[in-house]
Amino acid sequence: MNSFPVSMKHAAAALLVLGGAALLPQAQAAGTAASTSIQNRATISYSVGGNAQTPIESSPTGNSTPGTNNGASTAFVVDNRVDLTVTEVAGAATVVNPGQLNAVATYLVTNTGNAPQAYQLTPTNITGGTLFGNTDNSDVGNLRVFVDANANGTYEPATDTATSITTLAADIGVRVFIVADVPVTATNAQFANVRLTAATAVNNTPATLLVQSTGADNPATVEIVFADGAGAGGDAVRNGRFAADDQYAVQSAALSVLKASTVISDTFNGTTNPKAIPGATVEYAVTVTNTGVVAASGLSIADPLPANTTFVQNGYSSGTRDVQLTVGSTNTFCIAEAGGTDTNADGCVRTAGGVLQVGAPALGAVAVGAANAVTLRFRVTIN
């Protein structure tokens, strides 16, 4: 009697009767897990001269011996469908300030294949390109990449130290952080685009990239098949990699400083059209305006008293008021002690070298907008 071996690599529709135990497919992104053995056998039932004969089971090598268990199951292992995605998490640019260290851009690397995989991670600066409506026009420095070790979505330097993904189960994602330093020279409305590329590696061996299988399929071997789509920046389909972009958007204060002088009075004209003659009182006004998009904090002003002048103490009415600070329509005052010691801790002092210094708490911040401009006034007499 002839035997009828049947190939089982793809579908089992040609079998008359299925026997044996086939594993059920699991609910994963890419279907049945790689390395799963799928096996079954066909049973041929027939009659001769109207008499039922003993059924014959199939075998991968052919079987003609009737009877149960005289055949053998045809089996193959499910191949490794390599697929992944990398996505930017926030959906918007990461806002940073000039000089900011360890600025974080967050991504999600997801294994959409059917086997656990390792991944190499590479961060890069991008030249040009538009993201979130903003065109890249600067770079960040000291790019590093770290894996979220405890899955809390927050970069923690002491905890998140891994720079590659050692193993990631199928249908599971993990957050990855690009960490960078923003140059102190960065200015408002500069944008730095960065890219994270994840490359699939041998599970538990991230230093070794996977290589796609070639040649005819071997049913006993787990073949490697790249199935990934195209990522950012020209990332090609089916290359075992995926790339996604994020952006650092610099928001900064933009300060302008205007200094003016006005003659308040002189010894001959009083306050009527006074002139800058010896003995005259002159008022300096230093105005700081912020035209940026964020407040400037920790502001301090240092103004050397000019030669041939003498600082006027109690230059403003109502007691010991040496310096006037104006924000909008509100005036405050402070005392600028001589000698460099701010005895009342109001933020105003004159150094031994004759420099007027004004800082916190008298002056601490300049908010955005013209109404928040700060004007510092003090007076001197001409020697």
Could you tell me if 120 and 176 are in contact, meaning their C-beta atoms sit under 8 angstroms apart? no
Sign of the four-CA dihedral 207, 213, 214, 215: positive
Residues 208 and 69 reside in one and the same domain: no
Of the residues 78, 107, 139, which one is the last residue of a structural domain? 78
pLDDT in tens, 371-380: 789 999 999 9
Could you tell me if 199 and 213 are in contact, meaning their C-beta atoms sit under 8 angstroms apart? no
Q: State the Cα–Cα distance between residues 113 and 228, nearest whole angstrom.
A: 9
Residues 74 and 86 reside in one and the same domain: no
Residues 288 and 357 reside in one and the same domain: yes
**Which residue range is the domain that position 212 belongs to?**
81-250
Residues 200 and 338 reside in one and the same domain: no
| Torsional class of 362: left (φ above 0), alpha (ψ -120 to 50), beta (otherwise) | alpha
Distances (CA, A) of 130 to 8, 62, 245, 246: 50, 62, 10, 10
Residues 317 and 228 reside in one and the same domain: no
Between strands 37-44 and 224-226, the pairing is: unpaired
pLDDT in tens, 35-76: 999 999 999 999 999 999 999 999 999 999 999 999 999 999
Residues 6+ apart with CB under 8 A from 265: 271, 274, 280, 281
Could you tell me if 209 and 64 are in contact, meaning their C-beta atoms sit under 8 angstroms apart? no
List phi, psi (to 5°) of 371: -65, -15
The letter for the amino acid at 6 is V
CATH number at residue 137: 2.60.40.10
Nearest C-alpha neighbor of 255 from the set 304, 284, 293, 303 = 293
**Please, where are the H alpha helices in 70-210?**
none
Could you tell me if 288 and 299 are in contact, meaning their C-beta atoms sit under 8 angstroms apart? yes
Nearest C-alpha neighbor of 282 from the set 328, 314, 253, 315 = 315
Residues 109 and 120 reside in one and the same domain: yes
CATH number at residue 361: 2.60.40
pLDDT in tens, 179-235: 999 999 999 889 999 999 999 999 999 999 999 999 999 999 999 999 999 999 999
Residues 295 and 196 reside in one and the same domain: no
Residues 296 and 276 reside in one and the same domain: yes
Of the residues 250, 278, 312, which one is the last residue of a structural domain? 250
Residues 141 and 12 reside in one and the same domain: no
Residues 167 and 198 reside in one and the same domain: yes
Residues 275 and 364 reside in one and the same domain: yes
Q: How many other CB atoms sit within 10 Å of the CB of residue 108? A: 17
Would the pLDDT of 348 be above 70? yes
Residue 355 tokens read as 């420099």
Q: 318 falls in which pLDDT band (50, 70, 90)?
A: low
Residues 132 and 70 reside in one and the same domain: no
Q: How many other CB atoms sit within 10 Å of the CB of residue 187? A: 13
Average pLDDT over residues 330-358: 93
Of the residues 78, 107, 141, which one is the last residue of a structural domain? 78
Q: How many other CB atoms sit within 10 Å of the CB of residue 367? A: 15
Q: How many other CB atoms sit within 10 Å of the CB of residue 282? A: 20
The DSSP secondary structure of 125-161, one letter per residue, reads: E--S-EETTEE-----EEEEEEE-SSSSSS--TTT--
Tell me the whole-structure pTM to 2 decimals. Answer: 0.75
Q: How many other CB atoms sit within 10 Å of the CB of residue 345? A: 10
Structural domain total, the chain = 3
H/E stretch holding 242: strand 241-250
